[in-house]
Structures are given as C-alpha cells and as structure tokens.
Structure 1
Amino acid sequence: MTDLHDFPIALVTGASRGLGAAMAEALAPTHHVVAVARTVGGLEELDDRIRAAGGQATLAPMDITTRDAMAQLCRSIHDRWGQLALWIHTAVHAAPLSPADHVDARDLERSIATNVSATGILIPYVAPLLGLEGQAVFLDDPRAGEKFFGAYGATKAAQIALARSWQAETARTGPRVHILAPAPMATATRARFFPGEDRETLAHPRDEAARLLASLG
C-alpha cells in the first residue's frame, strides 16, 4: 500500500466550499492536499470527508490576501515537501451585484485584494514550488462588462489576465498553466448571483471537479 506521504502535493486555495472543496476531495485519492481557506469550519468538514475516504490533507486556515501568511505557507511547503505537483486557485471574492454607480467601496477593495492582488502575490510565491513540471489551474468566469457585475467581473477578468500572461510566458518551459471554464454549478455563490434559478439544471461541483481534473492529462 502506498504511503500517503509519498503522494504528490496539491495546493488548493479556496478549498472550504463549492468547486474548491470538490477539487480537493477529487484529488485526495491520488494527492496529499494542502487546503487553504479562511473558513475553519469548512476546512474541517472537508478534512472529515477526505479522511473518511482514506485520504489525508493538511489544513491551512488563512486569508490569501495576507502576504506574510502566504509567504509562510509556501516556505512551509518547501521545507516539508520540497515541491508542488499542482496548484488549483479557486479562491475568489464574489461581490454583491450592483449598478456600477452604486458599487460599495469596501466590496471593491476586497474584490481587488482577493481576486487581483492576492493572485499577483501568489504566482511568484508558488511558481518556484511548481518548477518546470508542475501544473497551475485557474477558473474563468467571464462576467466583465455584464450589467451589475462591475466589481466581480472586472476583478475576475484581471485575475485571468494575470494567469494568461503567466501561461504565455511558460508555454515552452513550464509549469503548465491551465485556464479552465467550469459549467454553471449549483453553488452558494451562483445562488446569490441568480436567485430563483432552477438549480436542477446546474452541474454538481463534484461532477465538474472530476471533468476539469480529467482535462489536465
């Protein structure tokens, strides 16, 4: 039987719920998952599910917008395992829908901090851990320019623009950077964006996690 400590290491940022949690669970049979999120309870529930299925995870309850915490996390990964095989970045701040002329300043600041600044900080921190052979995954949600999606759409687009630049820069050298497009899912975030939508028509995060991970090859 394979020692779980010999498994490749996968970092999942935004792992406490939704697609991030589903990705972490889907990876657990073949990877040791480092699960990052602010919500301690969500991480603990994730850990329970992973352990019940025979896997192991390392929980890192922290805010990705805290630069020192992210630096310490990446240093700890380096010191303990030396490298990462995979980074999946699902953490996002989904600001409430609002007309552009009514966007709350605090929501905009948090959107910029979480969706843009943290991504710009994490890429140079995580890249050395991935080396040339690792893979990074970002999830696109193209809402830029849609009415009422000002804060979310603009900052999510900026995040993906950063990822696309990194993808182009590393195309010949590695790591491999993937920008994937999930199908509409029955998540709490989508329920806030589209109240009253028929959730029976939406994909389950567990199914989308399996589909997206299979596309990595």
Structure 2
Amino acid sequence: MKRALVTGASGGIGAAIARLLAPTHEVWLGGRTIPDDLPGRPWPLDLRDFDAFEERTAEIGDLDVLVHSAAMSDLGPVATTSLQTWRDTFELNVFAVAELTRVLLPKLRAAKGHVVLINSGAGIRINATWGSYGASKFALRAYADALRAEEPDLRVTSVFPGRTATEMQRKVRALEGGEYEPENYLKPETVARAVLNAINTTDDGHQTEVVIRQRATAV
C-alpha cells in the first residue's frame, strides 16, 4: 500500500483529504489534535519546530504523497499588520512547507511521488486586508512552480479553493465582520475529491494547478 503524509489533518480540508486517501494509502496524520474517527496514524508535530523535522520524518519510511494543508490566516490592513504577524504567517504557510518538503525529498524522489499544496484563491488574487495571508500564498505558488521545474520526476500540484466551510473560514468571516454561511461555500469533501483526482491521474498526466470555486447561488 502506498503511503501519504497529510499536514493540517486536524480538520477541514486536511481531514477530508485523509479520509479519501485512507482506502488506498497508509495515511500519516499531521496535526495537533486528530479526530478519533479519522483513519490513519496520528503524527503530532509543531510545524514551526524545523529542527525536529529530520528526526520525526525518519519514522515515516517510504513516502508516495505529501499533502501540505496546514495554514494560518490573520487578516488586517497592511498599515496595522505587525511584523510578528508577517513572520508567523510565512513561517507556517511557506517556510514549514519548504523545509518539510526538503527533508522528505529523498523519499519522494525514490517513489517518484506527488506533492500537493493546498493554496487559496488568495494565491491568485488578493483583496484588501488579506495582505500577509495572500502574500504567503503567492509565495507558496512560486515555491510549487520552482519545485516542479527542479524535480521533473515528481508531480507537484497547487490547489486553489474558493471559500470552504471550515473553522478557518469561520474565523475569517468574523475578522471580515460578516456572517459564516457554510451553505454558500465549498464543502471540504469537494476540495478533497479534486485533490484525489489529481493524485489518481494516470502516469502520462500531471495536474499542475487545480482551481475550484463554489457555484453561484441558484436564483
């Protein structure tokens, strides 16, 4: 059975991806608190503890799929966004991704594996108050493009979901001063199915980017 590591598996899109991968992969679940009913092997790790990556990834063995789903967002005008917010956002959304991938590259190369990066619509277009988060997602897209160009034996897929019904989205809506309306957003499972489709693409194909948006509300 193939093996996959999913970060951000505590909930939302990461947990949905882990559930869909479980029938065909041994799934390692990266996250602080993993739901009891989530199939797979919990792999708790502070993704900002870069010095622990070498030792902790040695536990995993071979690796076919790496899904980066962990992220943070802290909205606010650039005029009032603190330097610490910029640092925290880039540390988790970009630096942790780059370092964890670097450490796992020998395993991924050996498997001719697949790296999936859950990006955001903010990685394509930034709105007001989304500066630090959007900048980190633009950087994540550039990182994926560089990794794809430098590692031709790997498949590297950037996924750009629209608003998705997750706890992060609930917090985002509170920061925006709006209502959390999950019925108008993508389901995490919908994004997860798009990810699974990219992973299951036959060997002659490579889905480099997947953009998925919620449908307009029917009138």
TM (norm. structure 2) is 0.81
Aligned to 2:210: none
Alignment match of 2:38 (pick from 40, 45, 49): 49
Q: Distance in 1 between matches of 2:38 and 2:50?
A: 29
Q: Distance in 2 between matches of 1:49 and 1:153?
A: 30
3-state DSSP of counterpart to 1:35: strand
Aligned to 1:53: none
Q: Deviation per CA, 1:89-146: give whole Å up to 9, x if none.
A: 0111212x11101013332221121112112211211111111521110122142642
Q: Distance in 2 between matches of 1:185 and 1:145?
A: 17
Aligned to 1:108: 86
1:88 aligns with 2:67: yes
Aligned to 2:14: 20
Alignment of 1:134-213 (within 5 A): 134-143=113-122, 145-170=126-151, 173-194=152-173, 195-213=178-196
Identity of aligned residues (%): 30
Query: Could you tell me which amino acid in structure 1 is paired with residue 105 of structure 2?
Result: A
Task: Provide structure 1 residue ranges, at least 5 long, that are not aligned to the other structure.
Answer: 1-6, 51-56
Query: Could you tell me which amino acid in structure 2 is paired with residue 182 of structure 1?
Result: P
Q: Distance in 2 between matches of 1:182 and 1:152?
A: 14
Shift of 1:58: 1.6
Cα pair 1:10 1:33 within 8 Å, conserved: yes
Cα pair 1:182 1:212 within 8 Å, conserved: no
Q: Distance in 2 between matches of 1:191 and 1:116?
A: 22
Cα RMSD between the aligned structures? 1.7
Cα pair 2:15 2:38 within 8 Å, conserved: no
3-state DSSP of counterpart to 1:165: helix
Query: Could you tell me which amino acid in structure 1 is paired with residue 194 of structure 2?
Result: R
Query: Could you tell me which amino acid in structure 1 is paired with residue 9 of structure 2?
Result: A
Q: Distance in 1 between matches of 2:121 and 2:162?
A: 12
Aligned residues: 193
Alignment of 1:109-128 (within 5 A): 109-128=87-106
Q: Distance in 1 between matches of 2:188 and 2:79?
A: 33
Query: Structure 1 183/101 Cα, relative in aligned 2: closer, same or farther at 3 Å?
Result: closer
Alignment match of 1:67 (pick from 27, 46, 50): 50
Shift of 1:197: 4.6
Aligned to 2:28: 34
More helix by share: 1
